[in-house]
Amino acid sequence: MSNIQYITGFATLENPLDIDSFVAKGGFSGLHSALAKTPAEVISEVKRSGLRGRGGAGFPTGLKWESVAGDDERYLVCNADEGEPGTFKDRFVLEHAPFLVLEGMAIAAYATGAQTGYVYVRGEYPHVVASLSSAIASAVKAGYLGEHILGSNFSFNVEVRKGGGSYVVGDETALLNSLMGNRGYPFLKPPFPTEKGLWGKPTIVNNVETLAYVPYIFTHGAEAFASIGSSGSPGLKLFSISGHIAHPGVYEFPMGTTVRELAAAAGGILGNLKAVQIGGTAGPIFDTAALDYPLDFASMRKAGGALGSGALVFMNTTVNMAHVLEVTMRFFAEESCGQCFPCRYGTRQLAFMANKIASGQGRLEYLDLMRDTTHVMVGASFCPFGQSIAFPLESLLDRFGDEIVSFIKQQEFLKEAAV
């Protein structure tokens, strides 16, 4: 397991808002070399690197940039909504290496012809709004953003927007609605945001981490990036590690690093491992077999899950899986945006049954009813939020169903014994 550091290397700077120390460490050299190429060459370099989006879906970044079509007026949006429980890597990047994100945005804007960029920051990160605004002002003063960047004909301005605290607004379509001042409801694709996004104009949406890896490609070369990680999932990845682990935090490792290797790097599991949730709350909950899973897009799909945001939440044998079920279903019920009926109603029904189970008033028939409800939601919900609920629910029932059944029976027995 190699320990190449890129984002985490920049994150060691004593003052992340000091642009001179960022430049002294090699910052903005990627922008210099990108501006020496044509926009088409920049896109082809990103395609050759194999960079895939770090926001969850893993869409190839170069292809997305290439697909921008239509009007001259275009926008670039950095998705810093990061509402996924157990995910805190974008906050880490924005707190410790904000100029890397701005450099990546400038390169992306040059490649795609965007004149204006927005960073949509999660509402619960107000300090990031303030620090990023200061970083933008320094970058404009030093000629890395604003008019005629580095003496070229390329101009690009960035503004920061604070989100309202909704999880679903992390979805790019809901985010664009929110940015335009509308209610944060997702909308149907196609048309994709690259065709029709903000105010009907072509818009690129990229995750914070995706943009922070772009300068690497122009500093070290597309081949260097492509040579790290696994085939089909090149490069480095930030992992948010939490739960029963000795040193929770953000770790940077090549794609394809196993769960076991990451757990060891984070000081090891506290107690005996029982379960690990990978990719966020909408991801499956695995048992100890997950220790040998390589963390990349293809391997996680093969394991029946998804790499998602790269979050890993470790749970030891003290954890009651009936309580995990309740917390997970409550999350979905609280975060459903309410736009469509199957998700609005289904999440509340699931939360109700999970709450009854966890509080000792559960009935065995709830388990089948919960599965049936998720089947309807997967087929009928409007957006991936409602469709993904089957991952945590079915994985919990498939792998830890016996424990939940025993818990329900034990609570029934205790009630009868008390009468």
Give the residues lining the site for ligand FMN (CB under 6 A): 53-57, 59, 79, 81-84, 168, 170-172, 205-207, 210, 383-385
Across the beta sheet with 75-80, what order do the strands follow? 157-162, 116-121, 75-80, 203-207
Minimum CB–partner distance for residue 347 and ligand SF4 (Å): 7
Residues numbered 313 to 342 that lie near ligand SF4 (CB under 6 A) are 336-340
- Minimum separation from the CB atom of position 185 to ligand SF4 (A): 6
Task: Indicate the residue among 100 and 205 with the shorter CB distance to ligand FMN.
Answer: 205
Residue 200 DSSP symbol: G
53 binds, among ligand SF4, ligand FMN, none (CB under 5 to 8 A by kind): ligand FMN
- Out of 366, 385, 391, 400, point to the residue binding ligand SF4 (CB under 6 A): 385
Which residues 6+ apart lie within 8 Å of 64 measured at CB?
Answer: 53, 194, 204, 206
Sole binder of ligand SF4 in the list 314, 382, 391, 407 (CB under 6 A): 382
How many residues are present in the chain? 419
User: Do 211 and 105 meet the contact criterion of CB atoms below 8 Å apart?
Assistant: yes
Question: Which of ligand FMN, ligand SF4, none binds 210 (CB below 5-8 Å, type-dependent)?
Answer: ligand FMN
CA-CA-CA-CA dihedral for 94, 96, 97, 102, to nearest 10: 30
Among 25, 161, 330, 344, which residue interacts with ligand SF4 (rule: CB under 6 A)?
344
By the rule CB under 6 A, 269 interacts with ligand SF4: no
The string over 123-138, giving b where at least 16 C-beta atoms fall within 10 Å of a residue's C-beta and e elsewhere, is eebeebbebbeebbeb
Does 170 contact ligand SF4 by CB under 6 A?
no
Between CA 87 and CA 96 the distance in angstroms is 16
Q: How far apart are CA 308 and CA 289, in angstroms?
A: 19
**How many angstroms separate the Cα of 341 from the Cα of each of 336, 348, 383?**
10, 11, 12
Q: Is 383 in the site for ligand SF4 (CB under 6 A)?
A: yes
311 binds, among ligand FMN, ligand SF4, none (CB under 5 to 8 A by kind): none
Binding site for ligand SF4 (CB under 6 A): 168, 186, 336-340, 343-344, 381-383, 385-386
